A and B are shown apart, each in its own frame.
Chain A
Amino acid sequence: MGTFAEVHLGLSKSEAVENARIFLERERAVKGAGCPLTEDFFAVLKLLAVNDVRGAAQKLYASNPLAAVTARLAPEFFVETQVFNRKAARVSLRALERFLADRFSSLVKPDVKTGRYKAAVIGSGPAGLMAAAFLVRQGIAVTVFESAPFLGGSLRCYIPEFRLPAVVLDQLLARLSADGVEFRTNVLFPRALSAEDLFEEGGFSAVLLTAGAGVAEMLGLADENAAGVMAAAEMLSLTRAMHAGQEPYTTPGFLGNRVVVVGHNEMAFDAARTAIRQGRQVTIVVAGAESDIKVPADMVREAAEEGLKFKTFAAPVSLSLDSSGCVKGLVCRHLDYRIDGAGRLTVVEEADAEFVLEAETVLVARGMKANTLFVSEIPGLDLNLDGSVWVKPDSSYTSARKIFAAGHLVRPGASLLDVLLDARRAASEVAAYLKG
């Protein structure tokens, strides 16, 4: 409590080898989908089980260079069978993946290839990094342009330290640099550097947009500009990337003693657990029962153990402000289950059942929209109605010539695994396009 150290500790080498053997013994009994990113995880396990850690790491790296990220953030796979080791602890395949991924820098040698084609990747989040990793393997000179002063995108800004330590992200970036990816920060595309600049002066032949989904949806309540109300994404970014309230950084701390989080997605829980670690009393507002929360059960359990309070069956109605205009509470209405005319169980607001959750800070985690604030200015680039970038079905080709798009910029609600798969496919399409 009060520490931002990783919650889950990794495996030792002996534990990893033993767990790999145990899992392989039950191989035939295992059911369900494997990790979509790792082509043959059983082959990786077989190498690990015979103590060939280097071989296992190389095989894993070949299909998933961002394994250190997926190991920590993606859901467990092969979930239909639970396998236990001698200590009756569940054998976690993500833990095995993490064991190998954390050793990539020492076990996998850089393989720098050079070619005559240049591609620009816009955005250094998970999609951008995955695409860059696969492009550079195909001999394409890749430069990743990032508008912020730091690399990592949502991995740096929105994922708390206790889920993805900065040192792991820095190792990943160093790894990609060693592989030949060039990074440039403080470049706002397409304002400071346009697509035309890249093609005509920079010598780039293709641009892949992976600017992500960094625009938070707000509640649409009156007074939402009030001091003390902010998006959970902004709160996470200030805490994580700008080190708010931490010496010697000068970004001030900004959380009140009581914090209310509206929303029950992963970002809401990350924001809530971050605030708890800063000594705040945090309540999360859920429009339904706890069982309606759509995040992994482990995350809910850990948050509850850390002291998060749940206010279920509640919907925000308005903000309560003090005389100076700062927020002092969130007015909510009770909800209840009702059976509608079609016989379905739905959640409805109860009339005359309002109450106030007192708080000095209200964090909104309603969801994220594609960050097309600036890329929408690219001539010829079409957008969908929801503001995301339009691409041809099942591809990454946009309506603008030589410009591709992938990840949350195209599918804002996609899971991390889907984003990484999308980026990997986009890299293949860009490479195929460049090589004719």
Chain B
Amino acid sequence: MFEIIGKQNLNQLVRRLDIRADLLVPKLKAGQFVAVMPDCFSRRVPMNVYEVDIRRRCFSLIFEERDAETAKLGALRINDRLFAVNGPYGTPVLAEKVGTVLFIGEGIGLASIAFLCRSFKQAGNKVIGIAGFAERNSSVLENQLRLNCSKFHVMYKDGMHDRRGDILAPFKKALAEEKPVRIYAHATAQSVKDISLLAANDKVPLWVNMIGLLDPRPSFSDTAMLVINGEPYSPARYGVWIKAGQMDVNSFVRDNEALKEYAGCRKNEAALSASKNVWARLQKFIWG
């Protein structure tokens, strides 16, 4: 169970893993997420699912190596096994035919967007995609998104190919010209704030992926609750795609940033150095 049957390096830090999970795969739908433990010493990390392949009985994760757990995931090779994969969590996003749907994402957030893009495209919608990257070298999934979008815009902050800037400019243009009936966004907290203001002005329903509120927590738990607009909310049950009207976006931005700072300053230094030691020994064992 949870054997890695495929691996791809998408760029210097971003990896794709195809993981076999006979029981889980037939039940995984677009918009859901899983909790992953690379080994028995890891914390449980919530991750959006990128793709599901029923025929090969596997699902795919795309992630960026940025902490101990994702580094361990990135070091795994084909035929290695993950210690645990739990799910599917969240309510599937129902990809029905509604007209024009706009997807906007930054960086690694595009992995969760891509699954929805495919689903809505297959349902017969006009799909507009907007992707933002810090630089050309950090771009991922451009071709995949281009294939699944009727129109696709990509912006680089370092200004390659005259596409300098952030995602807001093409977003404003798409709002005005394409008149989408729905928007799905997975971007940085600040971008989400700006996107939600623009979407609210045009009265277009916006769904935001808030896995960023779960990830900095010490470890994912099925029963952990968030409080959204004063009501308890279970991400494991209801999912990480939340309608912007359901939650106060300003609180989301603040809590997201605070959690990251909390995770950084509260991290037990001994545990951090221990994880580096474990990681160093693992690397030495694998590569000599």
Q: Which positions in A face B, CB cutoff 8 Å?
A: 147-149, 185-188, 191-193, 214-216, 218, 220, 222, 224-228, 230-231, 233-234, 237-238, 242-256, 321, 324-326, 360, 371, 373-374
Contact yes or no, B274 A247, CB < 8 A? yes
How many angstroms from the CA of A253 to the CA of B87 in the assembled complex?
25
Contact yes or no, A242 B43, CB < 8 A? yes
Contact yes or no, B43 A149, CB < 8 A? no
* Chain A residues within 8 Å of B267, by CB: 252-254
Q: Which positions in B face A, CB cutoff 8 Å?
A: 1-2, 23-24, 27, 37, 40-44, 68-69, 83-89, 213, 218-219, 221-228, 230, 232, 234, 236-237, 251, 254-255, 257-259, 261-263, 266-268, 270-272, 274-275, 277-278
Q: B73 to chain A: closest CB distance in Å?
A: 12
**Interface residues of A, dominant DSSP:** loop
How many angstroms from the CA of A251 to the CA of B69 in the assembled complex?
9
Q: B97 to chain A: closest CB distance in Å?
A: 26
Q: B214 to chain A: closest CB distance in Å?
A: 11
* Chain B residues within 8 Å of A216, by CB: 223, 225
* Chain A residues within 8 Å of B223, by CB: 214-216, 233-234, 371, 373
Q: B128 to chain A: closest CB distance in Å?
A: 32
Interchain residue pairs A-B with the least CB separation, the first 7: A253-B268, A325-B258, A227-B262, A149-B84, A251-B43, A247-B274, A245-B268
How many angstroms from the CA of A343 to the CA of B82 in the assembled complex?
63
Q: A192-B87, A214-B223 are in contact. Are A250 and B275 (CB under 8 A)?
A: yes
What are 19 A-B contacts with C-beta separation under 8 Å? A149-B86, A187-B23, A191-B89, A192-B27, A215-B225, A215-B234, A216-B225, A225-B255, A247-B270, A248-B41, A250-B41, A250-B68, A251-B218, A252-B266, A253-B266, A253-B267, A253-B271, A325-B254, A325-B261
CB < 8 Å: which of A148, A233, A248, A373 contacts B275?
A248
Q: A109 to chain B: closest CB distance in Å?
A: 31
Contact yes or no, B257 A218, CB < 8 A? no
Contact yes or no, B42 A326, CB < 8 A? no
* Chain B residues within 8 Å of A374, by CB: 237
How many angstroms from the CA of A246 to the CA of B41 in the assembled complex?
10
Contact yes or no, B69 A325, CB < 8 A? no
* Chain A residues within 8 Å of B37, by CB: 149
CB < 8 Å: which of A193, A234, A254, A371 contacts B266?
A254
Interface centre among A149, A227, A234, A324 (most CB of B within 10 A): A227
Contact yes or no, B86 A251, CB < 8 A? no
How many angstroms from the CA of A366 to the CA of B213 in the assembled complex?
23
Beyond the given A188-B88, A193-B23, A246-B271, could you list 18 further A-B residue pairs with CB under 8 A, ordered by the A residue number?
A149-B44, A185-B84, A186-B86, A191-B89, A218-B232, A224-B227, A225-B226, A225-B251, A231-B224, A244-B219, A247-B274, A250-B68, A252-B267, A253-B268, A254-B263, A254-B267, A360-B266, A373-B236
CB < 8 Å: which of A226, A248, A251 contacts B258?
A226
Contact yes or no, A256 B251, CB < 8 A? no
Contact yes or no, B266 A225, CB < 8 A? no
Contact yes or no, B84 A326, CB < 8 A? no
Q: B57 to chain A: closest CB distance in Å?
A: 13
How many angstroms from the CA of A220 to the CA of B230 in the assembled complex?
7
A-B contact count (CB 8 A): 156
* Chain B residues within 8 Å of A238, by CB: 218-219, 221
* Chain A residues within 8 Å of B219, by CB: 238, 242, 244, 251
How many angstroms from the CA of A214 to the CA of B222 in the assembled complex?
9
How many angstroms from the CA of A254 to the CA of B272 in the assembled complex?
12
Contact yes or no, A237 B271, CB < 8 A? no
Contact yes or no, A326 B262, CB < 8 A? yes
* Chain B residues within 8 Å of A228, by CB: 262, 266
* Chain A residues within 8 Å of B225, by CB: 215-216, 218, 231
Contact yes or no, A148 B218, CB < 8 A? no
Q: B106 to chain A: closest CB distance in Å?
A: 22
Q: A242-B44, A242-B218 are in contact. Are A325 and B86 (CB under 8 A)?
A: no
How many angstroms from the CA of A366 to the CA of B43 in the assembled complex?
26
* Chain A residues within 8 Å of B236, by CB: 373
CB < 8 Å: which of B87, B237, B258 contacts A227?
B258
How many angstroms from the CA of A228 to the CA of B258 in the assembled complex?
9
Q: A94 to chain B: closest CB distance in Å?
A: 30
Contact yes or no, A237 B43, CB < 8 A? no
| Chain B, Cβ-Cβ closest to A233 | B223
Contact yes or no, B261 A227, CB < 8 A? yes
Q: A275 to chain B: closest CB distance in Å?
A: 13
Q: B1 to chain A: closest CB distance in Å?
A: 7
CB < 8 Å: which of A237, A248, A255, A373 contacts B278?
A248
Q: A387 to chain B: closest CB distance in Å?
A: 11
* Chain A residues within 8 Å of B213, by CB: 225
* Chain A residues within 8 Å of B258, by CB: 226-227, 321, 324-326
* Chain B residues within 8 Å of A222, by CB: 230
| Chain A, Cβ-Cβ closest to B277 | A248
How many angstroms from the CA of A191 to the CA of B236 in the assembled complex?
11
Q: B237 to chain A: closest CB distance in Å?
A: 4
* Chain B residues within 8 Å of A371, by CB: 222-223
Q: A237 to chain B: closest CB distance in Å?
A: 6
| Chain B, Cβ-Cβ closest to A251 | B43
